[in-house]
Structure 1
Amino acid sequence: MKIHFLDYILVTAHSPSITAAAEQLFLCQTTLSAAIKSVEQELNITIFERNRQGIRLTEDGRKFIALADEIMQRYREMQELSSDHVRPMNRSFTLLAHPIACARYSFPLVKAYQRIAPYASLSIVECPGDQMLEQLTQGKARIGIGQALTSELGDYMKRYQDAGLTVEPLATERSYLYVSSSSRLTGRTEVSLPELQGEYLAMTPHGFQVYQRDELYRYLPHYSIFSNDHLVRQAIIEGNMIAFHTSGSPGDDWFNTDGKLCRLNVVGRNNSSMCHCLVYAAGMAYSVLTHKLLDCIRETLSAPGGRGCPSNV
């Protein structure tokens, strides 16, 4: 039995189909199927049951995965002893992330995961909120970081749970108004929406979705859409525009680290709190590295110091 066949099967066990696993491994489906069949024949067991919906582990398959994962862990440890410093076999994981979560948590997550799993590769893919459920159920990834308004969290969780996914709310942050130091609103701690009439709003494409849903256009009909948060911030400073952004406590205001902006509470704005949620497929036989990734996400999102750049809301 070839050692890399074990790694192929571990990846397949966390995929909805042979095709999806082959794409992740950069193999053709025929090659992957042949590798799995070779191991099944050698051990005289069936690892996967195949049906129209995809694949699922048999009872023998679950036992095999537990043993294979342990073997691969030990194999990597042995490779580290090599005098030639041979690089251990790499495992890759794909994490879907809502645009806000992607901007806020990507760097802290990659850094933290590299520390606990140095021979695993983590790819964080930005995924619009309205596509997250479809992407996860279709097997594009098994883990995601989604986001929901706190007022809609119950409906959000039910929709994902009905699709066989587990949802863990982890971090909640409020939305604030940011203005430049030269704004007429500088020096104030709060402002009402009617007082913003006449101001020019800067936002990202995701922010525009919230803008429409919250009917902010009734007070702020003039706006510009920028591709990222850096440009939004630049528009506030250089163009004297305003913007809504999520943020933590005053000591955790990552959008205003240099103090060039002023942050205000907005009185009377509903649906201003957002919740970041860890979402993953339920009932899966996850590997040790996958459990480490889940724990890494939980710790990073729960730790105030681990947040990245805030994003536009």
Structure 2
Amino acid sequence: MTITQLYYVLAVAENQNFTKAAEKCFVTQPTLSMQIQKLEDELNIQIFDRSKKPIELTDVGRKIVIQAKNIVNESYRIQDIVDQQKGFIGGEFKLGIIPTVMPTLLPMFLKAFIKKYPKIKLKIEELTTDEIINRLKDGHLDAAIAATPLESDFIKERVLYYEPFVGYIPENHRLHTKQKIDTIDLEIDDMLLLEDGHCFRDGVINLCKAFKNQTEETFQLESGSIETLIKLSDEGLGMTLLPYLHTLDLNDKAKKNLHYFNEPTPAREVSIIYHKSELKIQIIEAMQSVISGIIRGAIAFQNVKIISPLPSK
């Protein structure tokens, strides 16, 4: 039995196809099939039911895949130990970022991070929180930046910053004349929200429900982007809430529609998250250090109340 064989098994289990798995592993399909067959012969069992389309794991195959993930991850740790001993910070690093953080945070830290750590080959994807959790669990991401806490047993979280919510309220709205707003002022019925699947949407809903026991989710409009929410609000279709960093690049006309909350300001907690196995922890710590250093100059709010990003039950 070899780690390579277990790696091939995991690839087939994920792709449910030998040809696709071979492409992902950068080997020929006969080579991959032969190695898996050798492993099955050695164990005297069938890991895959090849009669099914797509290919399925057998009952014992499912148990083997769980253990194979542990073994393959632990094998990666050996290289981690060597890298840390040598003080090497480099190699491929797969990072996921949620959509409401990506456009504001990434331009702030990426150039500085690449300059400081040129040997790291970053692969960055914009993913929802659910996608991030699944990919961290399966070992397809090294880390991610997301709103927390996520209350997951296999994920560790390191807080990067607390980002306040800011009201975007057009001139014709009932709250526009208020210099500062309170959470009790919010009404779900006239709130423009992101589409389902965005954790910032869940945070806004949780904020509204917490103070008024509002359970009716009869929204006027939903959108896939914060920029669209701002445009819809400008058309008089309702107000919306923005993450603070999204307000920094607004034009002067749009900034007149910004209304800050009375303290404690509702805010989201943004963290770098990673698997509890702590693979590539030296890169995670390097990224945390760079981001924390940059963000200190951008967000000066102190008295905040963290709003959960988890969907309300």
TM-score (norm 1): 0.59
Q: In structure 2, what is the equivalent of residue 277 of structure 1? A: 271
Give the 5 Å matches for 1:180-219: 180-191=170-181, 200-205=190-195, 206=198, 207-213=200-206, 214-215=208-209
5+ long unaligned stretches in structure 1: 1-11, 35-49, 74-90, 306-312
Q: In structure 2, what is the equivalent of residue 54 of structure 1? A: 71
Among 150, 155, 160, the alignment partner of 1:170 is 160
Give the 5 Å matches for 1:111-260: 111-118=111-118, 120-148=120-148, 153=149, 156=150, 159-160=151-152, 162-163=153-154, 165-191=155-181, 200-205=190-195, 206=198, 207-213=200-206, 214-215=208-209, 221-247=218-244, 253-254=247-248, 256-260=250-254
Give the partner amino acid of 1:262. Answer: N
Identity of aligned residues (%): 12
Contact 2:204/2:241 (8 A) holds in 1: no
Q: In structure 2, what is the equivalent of residue 28 of structure 1? A: 26
Contact 1:173/1:275 (8 A) holds in 2: yes
- Aligned-pair distance for 1:168? 1.1
Distance 2:223 2:84 in 1: 47
Residue 99 of structure 1: SS of its match in structure 2? coil
Distance 1:220 1:145 in 2: 28
- Aligned-pair distance for 1:61? 5.5
Distance 1:96 1:58 in 2: 20
Distance 1:279 1:121 in 2: 19
Spell out, residue by residue over 1:227-248, the C-alpha distance to the aligned partner (whole angstroms, 9 max, x if none): 1111111112233521012226
Residue 223 of structure 1: SS of its match in structure 2? coil
Residue 54 of structure 1: SS of its match in structure 2? helix
- Aligned-pair distance for 1:209? 3.1
Give the partner amino acid of 1:203. Answer: L
Distance 2:237 2:77 in 1: 63
TM-score (norm 2): 0.59
Give the partner amino acid of 1:229. Answer: I
Contact 1:194/1:219 (8 A) holds in 2: no
Q: In structure 2, what is the equivalent of residue 263 of structure 1? A: 258
**Paired positions, count:** 243
Distance 1:61 1:122 in 2: 18
Distance 2:162 2:249 in 1: 16
Q: In structure 1, what is the equivalent of residue 41 of structure 2? A: none
Contact 1:171/1:277 (8 A) holds in 2: yes
- Aligned-pair distance for 1:30? 6.9
Cα 1:120–1:242, aligned 2, differ >3 Å: closer, same or farther? Answer: same
Contact 1:174/1:272 (8 A) holds in 2: yes
Give the 5 Å matches for 1:72-83: none
Residue 186 of structure 1: SS of its match in structure 2? coil
Cα 1:218–1:257, aligned 2, differ >3 Å: closer, same or farther? Answer: farther
Cα 1:95–1:188, aligned 2, differ >3 Å: closer, same or farther? Answer: same
Q: In structure 2, what is the equivalent of residue 82 of structure 1? A: none
Give the partner amino acid of 1:127. Answer: L
Give the partner amino acid of 1:227. Answer: G
Give the 5 Å matches for 1:85-96: 91-96=91-96
Contact 2:167/2:259 (8 A) holds in 1: yes
Deviates more, 1:187-196 or 1:94-103: 187-196
Deviates more, 1:197-206 or 1:282-291: 282-291
Cα 1:129–1:239, aligned 2, differ >3 Å: closer, same or farther? Answer: same
5+ long unaligned stretches in structure 2: 12-19, 33-65, 300-308
- Aligned-pair distance for 1:172? 0.9
1:299 paired with 2:293, answer: yes
- Aligned-pair distance for 1:285? 5.7
- Aligned-pair distance for 1:27? 4.2
Quote the RMSD (CA, aligned, Å): 4.5
Contact 1:166/1:282 (8 A) holds in 2: yes
Distance 2:295 2:267 in 1: 16
Distance 2:189 2:147 in 1: 28
